[in-house]
């Protein structure tokens, strides 16, 4: 039984689907910008720029990421573009939602901790904590909504769950309850069939 059924309040899934799809369009716009030459050209300088002016206790963190990324900066810039594109497509289509949300939270936190320098709230003149931390919070909210409202109607996962029995583990926060309408239609069909005796 879903939390909405336990409280007796009907819970429409459309706001969750609307939020997911809208957020997917935002990610698609962001991913499109990552494919432009300007992103690849400035990728390493952005990361190195964020390392400047950081407190001394964060210097090893940024030095570590610069050492890892510097030799393969072009490859990693393309990798970021690919990952953001895949997240956008998964959000818009509703594909592997639970897996996508967890992966996107991890990716957002990694970007926040490197390219955004943890948002730099401890630097002089800081006015916010960065944007990708907010993305991580939105993905966490989508996970919570997924648990609360149950399976999404407007998603590729809904189609896949009907054909692949284990797919709910990739898509849902909990095992979907059997559909009452489907169970009722099976009972009606059985009641209409004459006894073999």
pLDDT at 58: 85
Collapsed DSSP state (helix, strand, coil) of residue 12: coil
179: pLDDT strictly greater than 70: no
pLDDT of 68 higher than 80: yes
Domain boundaries, the chain: 11-119+130-191
Structure tokens of 121?
Answer: 């709230």
Q: What is the mean pLDDT of residues 74-94?
A: 96
Q: Does 40 score more than 60 pLDDT?
A: yes
Query: What is the spatial distance between Cα 121 and Cα 106, in angstroms, rounded to a whole number?
Result: 20
pLDDT band of residue 80 (cuts 50, 70, 90) is very high
172 compared with 26, residue with greater pLDDT: 26
pLDDT for 197: 46
Q: Cα–Cα distance between 75 and 3 in angstroms, integer?
A: 45
Average pLDDT over residues 88-114: 94
**Which of 21, 30, 29 is closest to 145 using CA atoms?**
21
Residues 6+ apart with CB under 8 A from 20: 91, 94, 97, 142, 152, 155
* pTM for this entry: 0.79
Q: What is the mean pLDDT of the chain?
A: 83
Quick one: pLDDT at residue 174? 74
Q: Which residue has the higher pLDDT, 85 or 122?
A: 85
- pLDDT tens for 131-147 read 899 999 999 999 988 88
């Amino acid at each position: 039984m879903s939390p909405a059924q336990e409280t007796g309040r009907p819970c429409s899934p459309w706001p969750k689907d609307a939020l997911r799809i809208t957020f997917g369009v935002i990610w698609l716009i962001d991913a499109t910008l990552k494919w432009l030459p300007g992103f690849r050209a400035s990728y390493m300088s952005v990361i190195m720029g964020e390392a400047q002016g950081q407190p001394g206790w964060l210097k090893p963190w940024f030095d570590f990421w610069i050492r890892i990324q510097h030799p393969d900066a072009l490859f990693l810039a393309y990798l970021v573009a690919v990952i953001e594109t895949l997240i956008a497509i998964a959000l818009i289509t509703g594909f592997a939602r639970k897996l996508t949300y967890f992966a996107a939270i991890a990716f957002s936190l990694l970007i926040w901790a490197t390219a955004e320098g943890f948002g730099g709230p401890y630097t002089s003149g800081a006015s916010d904590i960065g944007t990708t931390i907010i993305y991580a919070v939105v993905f966490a909210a989508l996970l919570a909504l997924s648990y609360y409202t149950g399976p999404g109607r407007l998603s590729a996962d809904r189609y896949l769950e009907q054909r692949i029995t284990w797919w709910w583990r990739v898509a849902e926060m909990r095992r979907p309850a059997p559909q009452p309408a489907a169970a009722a239609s099976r009972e009606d069909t059985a009641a209409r069939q004459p006894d073999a005796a």
